[in-house]
């Protein structure tokens, strides 16, 4: 049995879904509960446990958990492989896991590749696991698209610099309306808190933007779409992993490392990482309305 620990941003979570698909045998993902449940719904043989359980949080302390519930004790007893995105291989967390599961093959991975690595993050994960004798199967995500569904557009990102300018999104949305292109606009928490309240209200009124306060609500908004357009952000990576035709707008980050993985991904990126000023309304409109 495989045991995978992960607690990072939504985009980082979406980027480990190919890893979860490729592991051989049953896998338990220990993660924030909503993300674990989503992974178990998307991937056969993946079950979930909440990383906020007391035994798991105590793994980070110097003395570790003193007692384990029967369910958690069984997890460690059955684990043949433990993959951690929450620790290094020389910290208290790793020491406690080796004590609780001495039979396991423990691999500690970072959510960021090392500076000397040039390639996609998922390929680095694959290579690192292979060096520990763990081979990942290559399992394609089935394409999902409702030809009568809307284009879903998400204008935000947790990092302001990765966002295409709001005014350009507005111009794109106006052109979609002129061309009778069905569009569904979704908001994340970052936009709701970063934008002025009057702007958020204008988007709700003018573009019928929908706020997604949970991952379950986000998935509801994505399912049934014809395609997705967004910045280098968590919803973009998730849309690609759900199988939607996905267009990802890049600027300061390198798509060679961070591009979404999915069956139909179009990356729009400059020749070299730069600010989002490089990307014109005409370029994106052509992609959306072609």
Dump pLDDT digits (tens) for 13-39. Answer: 999 999 999 999 999 999 999 999 999
Alpha carbons 81 and 198: distance in angstroms, whole number: 51
Are the C-beta atoms of residues 238 and 18 closer than 8 Å to each other?
A: no
| pLDDT score for 189 | 80
3-class state of residue 245 by DSSP: coil
> Quick check: pTM over 0.75?
yes
CATH class of the domain at 151-289: alpha beta
DSSP code at position 51: T
**Of the options 1.10.3470, 3.40.50, 2.30.29, 1.10.20, the CATH number for the domain spanning 2-131:** 3.40.50
Of 197, 77, 219, the closest CA to residue 68 belongs to 77
3-class state of residue 59 by DSSP: helix
Alpha carbons 86 and 228: distance in angstroms, whole number: 30
What residue spans in the chain does CATH classification 3.40.50.2000 cover? 151-289
For residue 94, what are the contacts with CB-CB under 8 A and spacing of at least 6? 84, 87, 88, 106, 108
Of 235, 270, 264, the closest CA to residue 250 belongs to 270
> pLDDT by residue (tens digit) across 78-104?
999 999 999 999 999 999 999 999 999
Are the C-beta atoms of residues 36 and 29 closer than 8 Å to each other?
A: yes
Q: What are 212's two structure tokens?
A: 């997604």
Using CB atoms within 10 A of its CB, is residue 157 exposed (0-12), middle (13-18) or buried (19+)? buried
| pLDDT score for 165 | 96
> pLDDT by residue (tens digit) across 226-260?
999 999 999 999 999 999 999 999 999 999 999 99
């Amino acid at each position: 049995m495989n045991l995978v620990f992960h607690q990072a941003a939504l985009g980082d979570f979406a980027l480990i879904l190919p890893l979860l698909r490729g592991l051989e045998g049953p896998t338990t993902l220990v993660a924030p509960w909503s993300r674990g449940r989503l992974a178990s719904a998307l991937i056969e043989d993946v079950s979930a446990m909440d990383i906020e359980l007391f035994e798991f949080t105590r793994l980070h302390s110097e003395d570790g958990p003193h007692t384990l519930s029967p369910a958690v004790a069984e997890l460690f007893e059955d684990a043949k492989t433990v993959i951690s995105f929450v620790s290094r291989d020389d910290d208290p967390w790793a020491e406690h896991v080796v004590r609780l599961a001495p039979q396991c093959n423990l691999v500690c991975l970072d959510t960021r590749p090392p500076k000397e690595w040039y390639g996609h993050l998922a390929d680095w994960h694959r290579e690192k696991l292979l060096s520990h004798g763990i081979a990942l199967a290559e399992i394609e995500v089935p394409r999902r698209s409702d030809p009568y569904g809307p284009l879903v557009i998400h204008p935000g990102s947790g990092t302001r610099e990765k966002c295409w300018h709001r005014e350009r999104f507005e111009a794109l949305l106006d052109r979609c309306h002129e061309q009778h292109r069905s569009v569904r606009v979704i908001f994340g928490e970052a936009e709701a808190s970063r934008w002025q309240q009057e702007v958020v209200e204008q988007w709700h009124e003018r573009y019928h933007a929908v706020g997604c306060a949970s991952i379950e609500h986000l998935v509801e908004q994505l399912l049934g779409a014809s395609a997705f357009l967004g910045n280098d952000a968590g919803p973009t990576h998730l849309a690609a992993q759900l199988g939607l035709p996905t267009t990802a707008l890049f600027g300061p980050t390198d798509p060679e490392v961070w591009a979404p993985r999915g069956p139909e991904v179009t990356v729009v990126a400059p020749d070299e990482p730069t600010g989002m000023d490089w990307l014109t309304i005409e370029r994106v409109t052509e992609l959306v309305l072609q």
